[in-house]
Amino acid sequence: MTTGAAAPDPGATRVWRPAWPCPVRTVLSTHRRGSGDPTFRSTADGATWRGVRTPEGPATLRLLPRPAEGEVRATAWGSGADWVLDSVPRLLGAEDDVSGFVPPAPLAHVWRRHGDWRLGATGLVMESLVPAVIEQKVTGQEAFAGFRRLVHRFGERAPGPPSQPDPEVRLWVQPSPAQLRAVPSWEWLACHVDGGRSRPLMHAARVASSLERAGREHPVEFDRRLRTLPGIGVWTSAEVRSRALGDADSVSFGDYHVAENVGWALTGEDGTSDERLAELLEPWAGHRHRVQRLVELGGMVRPRRGAKMAPRRHLPVRR
């Protein structure tokens, strides 16, 4: 009898054939929280990897598009593998309805280039809510670093094959609500997350099950329920609705850059307020997030003329 190392777990697989040329990386890019996001990886073979905490447990999901065959090959590992494989079509935008959408004239060239992009939905509220709250009122650099520290410190390694095929794939899964509730105040500060953001996260973690159920409601009702939590406002709700629910009408009002970039892209105006942004987007009601996202996909950034928002330097640094 011979013994040896166990064969690598091939994982569970699913082949999905979308009804359109689905640009997998473009659709999934909104879920990446900075280049160092430990829950998200892209590899040279064209695959996108995600570490996901599903209702049935942690999972690793690998999505490899095969455009010539018109298919996406999905492989998953972990106790949440079946759940995450079932979610693939919705995640990649199969439920997004673009009928009736005509882009604003200044974005017509972007829509021609990205007309196959669809708005996907994860169906996972806490997965989007945690990084969104961390991103409140700070620079992206600070928020991404804080999220990365939180995941490394209190999350867990994503399940997967014993030997990853690519050394760059070292996925993690976000902390569970129970793990978040156990994070002490000084650890939040060590992750560069102050009390104004850690307290809303602790509140959300206590009612996480209710929030996940609310994620199955209409986006308007979900928005109402989510914003009953202290510290959760219109911006955070929109960020969660677009990713978790696939809400094509969510607008990130209150964002440091969105109003100015969208206003500049549509009109050439400087200094667009949230009120003016609502006015500009009104003709595209029902598709307002689609307009916002096209501005982002087109890289249409208003030229910077003032000082940039600086990272804060009074929080402790974890060595």
Spatial distance between the Cα atoms of 93 and 96, rounded to a whole number of angstroms = 5
Does residue 207 have a pLDDT over 60?
yes
Backbone angles phi, psi at 158, to 5 degrees: -70, 145
In this prediction, residue 315 carries a pLDDT of 53
For the chain, give the percent of residues with pLDDT over 70. Answer: 90
**154: nearest Cα among 125, 124, 134:** 134
**Topology adopted by domain 98-297:** Endonuclease III; domain 1 (1.10.340)
Mean of pLDDT over the chain: 92
Read off the pLDDT of residues 18-74 as tens digits, 9 standing for 90 and up: 999 999 999 999 999 999 999 999 999 999 999 999 999 999 999 999 999 999 999
Spatial distance between the Cα atoms of 143 and 132, rounded to a whole number of angstroms = 9
In this predicted structure, which of 37-46, 56-65, 188-197, 307-316 has the lowest mean pLDDT?
Answer: 307-316
Q: What is the DSSP letter of 99?
A: T
Spatial distance between the Cα atoms of 260 and 234, rounded to a whole number of angstroms = 17
Does residue 312 have a pLDDT over 70?
no
In this prediction, residue 4 carries a pLDDT of 55
Spatial distance between the Cα atoms of 240 and 88, rounded to a whole number of angstroms = 18
Enumerate the β-bridge partners of residue 57: 54
In this prediction, residue 319 carries a pLDDT of 38
Q: Which residues contact 295 (CB under 8 A, 6 or more apart)?
A: 107, 110, 261, 262, 265
Read off the pLDDT of residues 109-149 as tens digits, 9 standing for 90 and up: 999 999 999 999 999 999 999 999 999 989 989 999 999 99
In this predicted structure, which of 91-105, 126-140, 167-181, 183-197 has the lowest mean pLDDT?
Answer: 167-181
Spatial distance between the Cα atoms of 209 and 207, rounded to a whole number of angstroms = 6
Task: Report yes or no: 311 and 135 within 8 Å, Cβ to Cβ.
Answer: no
